[in-house]
């Protein structure tokens, strides 16, 4: 067994020079065979970290701007709790986010990008501000697969 400890702490400014913060640490056990498959290990860590990041951001009432260098974008303009609208990066503004893409989706993305004659990394950077298929949410991956499939069929 392999123990993985992932944590995140964030603090955001409030009006009148105040601030609020949230912190979470999670320890999980993974199978040791992940050490032999670096991509699978990265996907597992990214998925766990994504859940933690979304949880902390949800507690703070902020949305994560992943494509903007990981900066926090601040609370929704209503001043109230986050809504269920999408932030455009595969994560809901409500802090719950969505699940990381599956291995099958990653394989499909690579296959359809080859068929369409598209450089996958460039397409992902342009559309989502990400560099690898493994960074996508399931929703983003599904959208990208549909677009690449369409292009490949033309």
The model's pTM is 0.41
Position 37 pLDDT exceeds 90: no
Quick one: average pLDDT of 60-89? 41
Position 145 pLDDT exceeds 90: yes
Per-residue pLDDT of 10-29, as tens digits, reads: 888 877 778 888 888 888 88
Position 82 pLDDT exceeds 80: no
Residue 64, pLDDT score = 54
Quick one: average pLDDT of 78-102? 46
What length is written for the chain?
Answer: 154
| Model confidence band, residue 108 (pLDDT cutoffs 50, 70, 90) | very high
Q: What is the 3-state secondary structure (H, E, C) of the chain?
A: CEEEEEEEEEEEEEHHHEEEEEEEEEEEEECHHHHHCHHHHHHHHHHHHHHHHHHHHHHHCCCEEHHHCCEECCCCCCCCCCCCCECCCCCECCCCCCCECCHHHHHHHHHHHHHHCCCHHHHHHHHHCCCCHHHCEHHHHHHHHHHHHHHHHC
Quick one: average pLDDT of 139-143? 91
Residue 55, pLDDT score = 84
% residues pLDDT > 90 (the chain):
19
Q: Measuring CA to CA, how many Å separate 108 from each of 5, 68, 115, 145, 146?
A: 31, 27, 10, 7, 10
């Amino acid at each position: 067994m392999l123990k993985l400890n992932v944590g995140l702490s964030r603090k955001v400014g409030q009006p009148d020079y105040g601030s609020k913060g949230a912190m979470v640490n999670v320890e999980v056990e993974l199978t040791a065979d992940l050490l032999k498959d670096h991509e699978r290990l990265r996907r597992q860590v990214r998925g766990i970290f994504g859940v933690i990041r979304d949880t902390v951001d949800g507690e703070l009432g902020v949305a994560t701007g992943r494509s903007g260098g990981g900066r926090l974008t601040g609370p929704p303009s209503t001043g109230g709790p986050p809504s269920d609208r999408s932030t455009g990066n595969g994560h809901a503004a409500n802090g719950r986010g969505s699940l990381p893409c599956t291995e099958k989706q990653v394989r499909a993305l690579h296959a359809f990008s080859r068929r369409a004659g598209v450089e996958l990394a460039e397409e992902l950077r342009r559309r989502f501000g990400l560099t690898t298929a493994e960074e996508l949410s399931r929703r983003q991956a599904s959208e990208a697969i549909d677009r690449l499939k369409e292009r490949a069929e033309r």
